[in-house]
Amino acid sequence: MCETNHSKYKKVNKEGSCNTEDHKKWNRRSFLQALGLAGGGSMMLANTPLSVSRPSPLSMALSQAPSDDKVLILVRLQGGNDGFNTIIPVYDYDVYANARPLIRIPPSEFINLQQNEFAMPKPMNKLEGVWGDGKMRVVHGVGYEDSSLSHFKGSDIYANTNLQEDDRTGFMGRYFGEIYPDYFFNPPASPPSIQIGSIGNLIFKGPESDYSFAVSNPRRLLQIIENETFYNLDGLEDCTYDDKVRFLREATNTTFNYADVISAAYERSSDFGGYLDDSLGRQLSIISRLIKGNLGTKVYLVTLGGFDTHNNQIQRHQQLLNSFSEAISNFYADLTASGWDDKVLTTTISEFGRRFRENGSLGTDHGTAAPMMFFGTALNGNGFAGEHPDMNNLTRGGNVTNTTDFRRVYATIMKDWLCIDEDTVGRALLDTNGGPFESLDLGFNCSGTNPSIPGAGDGLVHNVSYTNSNDSDATNDNKPVINIVPNQTAHVNVDLYNIIGQKVATLRNEMMMEGVAYSINVKDEAKTRLSTGQYVYLIQTNDTEYSKSLIIS
């Protein structure tokens, strides 16, 4: 049995679980939702006084890159946007109109983007000026082979870029995992990514951590900072229940840390005005204030839902496109007024497009390829990229064939906007084709790549594996093992830290020989009880540090 030292808690029962009042208070999901935070507990230790190591060379890479002031906004058109009624193929209008006799956009409703080539419908009229000012481009036919027509599977694939198997990591999460290997006890000062008004998305999920902070309203965060205090970790005993309580309180405390940073940035800026009081308008208004307040976050995700237009598409879709165009137009007017418009690139994503032919319910069913739209002064002029799908050559299911691999678009953004080196991009996108994705011409390019990272390519190779014995003793299963192969003979020190940055144990302190493989069984070498949860190991050799997180189960 264990017992807390706080008077408001009762003793635990004989089974080792504390009373229902305490259990209810520390229910992780309901507690974070009540704060207006989803996934906030995964953002660890911004500016924490408990940080125990200086920034590693890897964790400095992103902030030192020449693209440090560049920001990426992902606008998720949830439900599967109908690209044919968004970017209308005027060049072959008869084929388009015959496939959609009841839901086609008539020529009287066109906003011409390229004479006799493509147009937008009139509900997107606020983007006419954006196009005219050279701040909008379109990539045709974005998709992938054998496209999934499932909302869930399609969303996952666009997030994890894995066309072969299920993968619970996202392409930006894998990238952030490389940049911030010691994220748990030495994180960046600002959250790497933020989701506004949306539940968590797989895009930012790394192998061991979620690199996204999801928030409904920064003013709510300010209330938390003003009215709440950090939760005391004293008095928690060595038992299963208190282990869980400790983890939740640590996660909540670190949530408050990032909440403070976000709220401060929000309050350093002011409202621009002009945004519609709708979902996307509110989300982009919040992001604008965080950018203008110099938060430092590089990637944001916002969501506009409702694009699953199986019926009554004309009215529903046009309302959505009107909301979208109003929000984007106001967003860039806001950024222009503050001098940020050339530093912020916005692009749309959706889990799939719609079928080319209309259905029998004045709508369209799940389809394949669709255009992606880009916005920003950095585009240096309007235009199109890629080839429009052949509307005369449909699959047996009535879909067009994609002409631009979505991973090629991602690679262009990462290499030419965020200035990430090509090898890192390939790993993040799980490029197994033996060569990099060729960049599209979107009007911008990176003048350089990330600076070389001292110690990242030499010194030693290290990773974590987990034992999986075949004997009947289950205690031998799933033990983390740190594997090290030095590239040169050196004195190596390996320390283990918990989630709040406290040193738990020294696992090794010895000379290691060049080319020799060393395996460190973490549980055995720690020589102390390790609670269930996430830890970070720190390898120090000469003047170089390496780190990675691991799980104790």
Residue 542 domain flag: yes
Q: In what helix (H) or strand (E) does residue 383 lie, and over which residues does it extend? A: strand 383-385
Signed CA dihedral, 65, 71, 77, 78: sign only: positive
Q: Are residues 394 and 464 in the same domain?
A: no
Provide the CATH number for the domain around residue 497. Answer: 2.60.40.2550
CB 505 within 8 A of CB 542: no
pLDDT at 447: 59
pLDDT at 28: 37
Q: Are residues 312 and 360 in the same domain?
A: yes
pLDDT at 85: 98
Provide the CATH number for the domain around residue 118. Answer: 3.40.720
Among residues 380, 407, 428, which one ends one of the domains? 428
CA distances from 183 to 167, 168, 172, 514 (A): 21, 19, 15, 28
CB 534 within 8 A of CB 208: yes
- Residue 342 burial (10 A CB sphere; 0-12, 13-18, 19+): middle
First to last CA, the chain: 21
Task: Please list, residue by residue across 139-178, b when 16 or more beta carbons sit within 10 angstroms of its beta carbon and e when fewer do.
Answer: bbbbbbeebbbeeeebbbbbbbbbbeeebebbbbbbbbbb
Dihedral, 6, 8, 10, 12 alpha carbons, nearest 10: -60
Q: What is the mean pLDDT of the chain?
A: 80
pLDDT tens by residue, 439-481? 999 999 885 333 333 333 445 788 788 776 444 444 455 789 9
pLDDT tens by residue, 15-29? 444 544 443 333 433
Closest Cα partner for 144 from 156, 126, 128, 130? 156
Q: Where in the sequence is the domain holding 136, given as residue range(s)?
A: 61-428
Residue 87 domain flag: yes
Residue 13 domain flag: no
**DSSP assignment of 486-528:** ESS-EEEEEEEE-TTS-EEEEEEEEEE-TT--EEEEHHHHH-S
Among the residue ranges 164-168, 334-338, 375-379, 481-485, the one predicted with the least confidence is 164-168
List Cβ neighbours of 111 (8 Å cut-off, separation of 6 or more).
119, 120, 121, 122, 124, 125, 127, 128
Pick the residue with more confidence: 532 or 393?
393
Q: Are residues 419 and 503 in the same domain?
A: no
pLDDT tens by residue, 40-98? 333 222 221 212 222 333 233 333 343 458 999 999 999 999 999 999 999 999 999 99
What's the pLDDT band for 422 if we cut at 50, 70, 90? confident
Residue 517 domain flag: yes
Among residues 388, 410, 428, which one ends one of the domains? 428
Q: What is the mean pLDDT of residues 319-341?
A: 97
pLDDT tens by residue, 360-402? 999 999 999 999 999 999 999 999 999 999 999 999 889 999 9
Q: How many domains does the chain have?
A: 2
pLDDT tens by residue, 201-250? 788 888 767 777 776 666 665 666 566 556 677 788 777 777 777 766 76
Closest Cα partner for 332 from 87, 127, 192? 127
Q: Are residues 464 and 422 in the same domain?
A: no
Q: Are residues 374 and 319 in the same domain?
A: yes
Residue 507 domain flag: yes
